[in-house]
Amino acid sequence: MQAAPIKRPGLGRLALVIAIGIAALLVIGGIVLSRRVTTASRLSAQAHALVADLTFGRAQAMKQGAPVVTCASSDGATCSNSNNWQLGWMVCLDANSSARCDAGDPVYRVQKGFDSGDSFSASGNTSAILFNREGFSIGLAGTVTITLHDASGSRSATRCVEISAVGTVQLQKAGTGSCR
Between residues 134 and 177, which one has the greater pLDDT?
134
Q: Is the pLDDT of residue 102 over 90?
A: no
Please state the length of the chain.
Answer: 180
User: In the predicted model, what is the mean pLDDT of residues 92-117?
Assistant: 91
Residue 2 within any structural domain of the chain:
no
Q: Is the pLDDT of residue 2 over 80?
A: no
Cα–Cα dist 72/15, whole Å? 59
CATH of the domain at 47: 3.55.40.10
Per-residue pLDDT tens digits for 41-78: 888 889 999 999 999 999 999 999 999 999 999 999 99
Per-residue pLDDT tens digits for 158-169: 899 999 999 999
Per-residue pLDDT tens digits for 118-175: 888 999 889 999 999 999 999 887 899 999 988 877 777 889 999 999 999 999 988 8
Given this model, what pLDDT does residue 11 score? 64
Range of the domain at 22: 13-173
Q: Is the pLDDT of residue 1 over 70?
A: no
Lowest-confidence segment of 10-19, 92-101, 146-155 by average pLDDT: 10-19
Residue 178 within any structural domain of the chain:
no
Residue 4 within any structural domain of the chain:
no
Residue 6 within any structural domain of the chain:
no
DSSP letter (8 states) at residue 176: S
Q: How many domains does the chain have?
A: 1
Residue 1 within any structural domain of the chain:
no
Best CA proximity match to 85, nearest among 139, 132, 58, 46 = 46
Given this model, what pLDDT does residue 163 score? 95
Residue 158 within any structural domain of the chain:
yes
Residue 79 within any structural domain of the chain:
yes
How far apart, in Å, do the first and last CA atoms of the chain sit? 79
